[in-house]
Structures are given as structure tokens and as C-alpha cells.
Chain A
């Protein structure tokens, strides 16, 4: 269903007569530290709709934007990882509420109804995991001695993610939600700028603290190597990378700092994701203490 905006855009590019009312277009910028900056590089790239019509000049993020996003994600990590599991669950549930309320915007971006449903339900699913994963992934260990011994999962830290190109919304939600539900902060590279930045607007109005999710629109081949080799990034999710050569280069770059890496995989995005997307960026901390009178 083409929106008024799209129709207006189409007219502008085809040089037709001026409309009675000119639509106000959205500027698609980046999402870093809870703000919407333009790329520091000043670059944009043309985004077309499925019919090939111009719809936007999206910000094309650079290496320096990626660096800024790492700073923002690291700054947000302490507070987000320290938030109670109950609080994190509430925040992610709030994202689902906001997404439900903005269905129309995603429909206008040609996101199919069923994908929207799945994306919202996936957020609800992960909202419920925040205060359960520690019980499923951790627990008491019956050591052979007078010791209290307990293992608990903790977030790895800052995780860089290359979002799959398709399905744009469900793929994006499915790579962000498990990472933040477990207390990590995330930097996402997306090549679907309109869906990604509209989701950023959902996140920005959902009590997600600034810097917990940072979205860079542009090229994974350009920004990926900088994030993969960045010393303050702890994890790298390559699930969405279609180019095997790029994935190999990024995994090799990540080896230098021993990042936790998820390799590209054929994913059925509408299937039950299982625990792996969450446990991939969880560390196990085991605490010992003697027992005695």
C-alpha cells in the first residue's frame, strides 16, 4: 500500500505537477547513544522502494560513527547490565507495545502483516526471558567440599551485529532482542535503513536507555572490519552476513581480541529461536565461598 509520502516522492522524481499539499518527508539518520545524528562523514545513499522509486537519502555510517557507537554502547553497559532482570523485561515488553502501536508505519514500509506479528511476538518472548535465563543457564554446583558454589550467567559486554537483509524487521528484532535481553549493549549494522531507523524511533520511545541499542545504516563491508577488530567490542554476530568472504574476514579480525563470534547460518526467522542467540553472549561466573561456623 503506497503512502502519501511515497506518492509525493514519485511525483517529485517524475516531474509531475505540484501536489495540493507537499508531504513532510522523514530524514533517515543514525541512532547512537539515544540520539539521531547524521553520519559524521556527511555521506548519504539513495534508498528506493520496491518499485525502484526514490524514497530517501539515508545516512551512510562511517568508521568514525562506528567508533562513536562503541563508546555509547560501552557507556550504557554498566547501567543496563546492572538493571534488574524484571526492569529489563519491562523495558523490552514496552518495545513490543510501541511496535504494536506503530504497525502502520512499518506497513507503509512494505513489511508484511505476518512479519510484523512475528516481530512483536518475538519481543514479548524475549521480554519474558530476562528474569528466567539465569535460572535456566545457571545454578548451584554440588562441589565435594564445604563450599557455597553458584554459577550465574552474565552479559559479555558490547556486541556488534550485522543484521540480515531480509526479513528486514523480523531479522533486525531477532538479532537485537536476545543480545539486550541478556544485559549486553549492541551496535547493529543494517542495510535496510528505513525499517531500521523506524525501529530506532520505537526504541527511543520505549524506555530503552540511550546507548543500549545503536543502529548504523550503511555497508557491513565498510564498518564491519572496524567493529570486528575494535578492542572494546566483546561479541560479533555474523548470522545475517550473506557474503562468506566478508564473514571469514570479520571472524579472522575478531580473533585478535578473542571475541565471541556467531557464524553465518541459514536461519528460519519465524521458528523458535531456542537459547543459542542468548547464550552466545553470556559468560558464566562461578562464585565460591567456604561454609563454616
Chain B
């Protein structure tokens, strides 16, 4: 059967007005930092802008501004006034959503259909949701008179730059804290546009401060003695360092770390739906998702049939220009991440698993990795144990539900899991037994501001989203 070819359908870049250089956003103004670095588009390696790098002195300025704003303005402000600022921010994000989506895809490499339909609308929804909590905190179940903690130091990753910012800033501000946020080194631009949105919303200076930089900037923020709360999303490795660094202090900590989610397909699953769920689970956002369904556990009796369908579906995935509206898989976020994915994929092959990718042409410039599956994977293989954080799926099989649960839980992580079955009682029984913070049954990678997200075991602690997400920012 012949297929129609897709014509290119690029979203216009013209809506984004990039500046040649960006400063740090401290006390409501953009100011110079001690140094600077270049930020690029991972799809073309084109330099997009020069961004200030915050030194520990810059971080100190930001924390001081946040402290003043907390004590003088934001802390004493009635909840209903705080709420209105957050509602304003939610509205402005929605108003400027196309600009934010294009900028996010440019700087991150994710397909425009994801930044447009997932990242940006969920970010606006997150602010809208937490705005409503600001004047209802005594009803949240954390005591009759819950108090804010003070200044929150927040460090976020590069995989969902704006959405992770929203997950951090919205509940912090709703609860009456002020924040200093450090975006990831490779994806600072949407956070800096958010700083502009704070200005448009006339948010009082110092309530939100954005300091750009790399690991050292993050460490300076986490270790700053005047920070009351540390919130981090990123690797388990860095999570351990932060947990150790804050030991013995009064800082409250929440950590949202890595994962190696099992996506379990039973023999009675609707196979076509399961295939869509598997594809969404591992290839959404190039697999740069901490809760990605990176271990497929498929019941032996349907494994061949499922893999055939999966491969057929994978052959239709379009890899390429993030700004093309037809693109399914965009660019890998950085050269560093690409080399890590490549290294683990090499290890997968050398340890004896069978590697398969559909025929797919990758652009010459930029960082790309074809969607890949490994079959014949054992639990001892490194690709079944370590987080790859890329479009690479490890396929294992099982015979009984008990074996599926055993294999699913056989990991130090516990962030998410998936179940595919048409039998309700089986879904509920398996969901009970999985040691994971989010369980998607007959769906995957669904997010909502009202729904708590976070892990068990070494996937970290604390929840983001929903009523539960307020706890991280309130003193009890």
C-alpha cells in the first residue's frame, strides 16, 4: 500500500523575539551575572543567546531579595491577594502560549506538538490550580494555621523546562513562600521569558528570582544558609548529594529523581491500545522523562504479536525538526546526553540484547537518536537497571502476574508504572502491589495539576501536584 508523504509543516519562529543576551532576574530586574555562557538549539547547534552565569555572590543577592520580599511583602500579604497574582500569571502564560511553545521547542528540542499541547497548557493550568489554594490553606489538611517556610531554593531539569518551573513556583508562591529558581544549564530561555511574565503580572520584586548557571550555581543555592526549603528535580545521583548536604540543617527537602518504570502488558490487553501506550511511554519527549515506561514487561504468550505491532508503529514515527508540527520525536537535548544514550545502547548490545530501530533518516546537524528497542533483555542487563533517559526501550517477558510484579519492583527506583489489561480486578490487584508513586492503567504519561506526582524508594520523596503538593511548602 502506498503512503502519502508528509509535507513540511513548520511552526514559525517569528513569534519569539530572542535577545542576544540575558541577565539574571533578581529583585524584579534583569541584572548582570559574574560570567556568561551560550545556549543553543539542540536541533541545529545554532547559538540562540548568551545567558548570564550566576556566581555564589549572585545567588546570595537573589536569596537576599527573596528574603526581603518574603518578610516585607509576600509573607504578610493576604492569601486572596497572592491568589490573584497567580491567576494573572496563569492567564499570561495562556496568552503567550504560542511564543512559549516555540521557544521551548527551540531551546529544548522537543516537538512543537508536545510543547504546544502538553508543556505550556499544563504550566498555565498548574498556576491556575495553585492560585486557588492561596486563600484556602487552612482547609488543606495541614493544620488550622499553616505557615509558609520562607525562601525556597529550587533547581529544575532540562526535560520540561517551563512545566517543571510551574510545578516548583506555583505551590511555593501559593503557600506564601518566595523563590530563587535555577533552570537547567541547557534550557534557561523559557524561565527567562517567565521572568518577563512576572514583570507583566506586576509581581512584587523579589518574590520570584531566576538565577541561570550550571551545577555550581545550583550547589550555591542549595547550600545557601538563608534558604529554608530545597526542591530539586533531576538525577538520583545529584539527589543523594543534596540529601547529604542538607543533613543536620533545618531545611525542608523534596526530591523528584530518576526512574526505570515497568510498563506491564498482560495477555488480555487491547494490543493496539497497549502499543500506543508503549510508544507514548518511551518516545514521548524523546524518552527524556523520569517516569518514562522504559522497561516493557510483556506476557510471553503475546510477546511476538505485540512486538510485531510495536515495530510496525515505530516505523511510522517521524524524527526531525522540533518545530515541524508533524514531528513525533525531536532532538536529544545535548551532546552530553546523546553520548550517554549511545554509551548505554552500546552496552545493551554488548551484553547480548538484540537491538532494533526502524529505518529513519536523522538530520546531519544537531543531536539525534533513532527510536530503539532491545529485546531479549534480562534483569541483570544494565539497560534494564539504569535510567537511559532517551528513546530506548528494554523489553522483558513474564509468564505469571506474580512474576510481572516481582520484575517490576526489582529496581531501586519507584516513580511510575503502567498496566495494560482488560480485567478490572487484575488491574487493581497489580496496582496495589507495584511500589511506584504513579500507576497508569490502560494509559501512560498523563499529568494533571490536581494529581500528585512523585516516587517511592530512590526516586525521591515528597509529592508535586494536588493538595499533596502543598505540604512541601508549608510548616506544620
Contact = CB atoms under 8 A, between A and B. Distances in A.
Contacts of A145: 446, 448
B458 A258 contact: yes
Interface size class of chain B, counting residues whose CB lies under 8 Å from the partner chain: 35 or more
Interface stretch (B102-110, B147-155, B243-251): B243-251
Interface in A170-227: none
B255 A258 contact: yes
B440 A288 contact: yes
B438 A288 contact: yes
Contacts, number: 107
Interface string B452-476: 1110111011010011100100001
Contacts of B244: 252, 255-256
A108 B252 CA distance: 42
Contacts of A21: none
Contacts of A284: 437, 452, 454, 463, 468
A283 B437 CA distance: 7
Contacts of A248: 247-248
A289 B248 contact: no
B199 interface: no
A157 B466 CA distance: 24
B121 to A, nearest CB: 9
Interface in A154-168: 156-157
Interface string B153-171: 0000000000000000000
A90 interface: no
A258 B437 contact: no
Contacts of B118: none
Contact of A276 (B414, B458, B476): B476
B411 interface: no
A143 to B, nearest CB: 4
A288 B240 contact: no
Interface string A266-293: 0000000011100100011111111000
Q: Name, among A144, A234, A274, A287, the residue most crowded by chain B CB atoms within 10 Å (CB to CB).
A: A287
A42 interface: no
B341 to A, nearest CB: 24
Given A141-B451, A288-B440, A290-B443, A255 B247 contact: yes
Contact of A149 (B141, B236, B448, B463): B448
Interface string B413-437: 0100000000000010001001011
> Chain A's interface: helix, strand, loop or mixed, by majority?
mixed
Contact of A141 (B239, B431, B450): B450
B443 A151 contact: no
B427 A289 contact: yes
Nearest to A140: B450
Contact of B450 (A142, A254, A258): A142
Nearest to A142: B450
B309 interface: no
A46 B463 CA distance: 46
Interface in A129-146: 136-137, 139, 141-145
A162 to B, nearest CB: 15
A260 interface: yes
B476 A286 contact: no
Given A141-B452, A288-B441, 17 more contacts: A139-B467, A141-B450, A143-B448, A143-B450, A143-B451, A149-B448, A149-B450, A149-B451, A151-B468, A248-B247, A251-B247, A252-B247, A261-B247, A283-B456, A285-B456, A288-B439, A289-B442
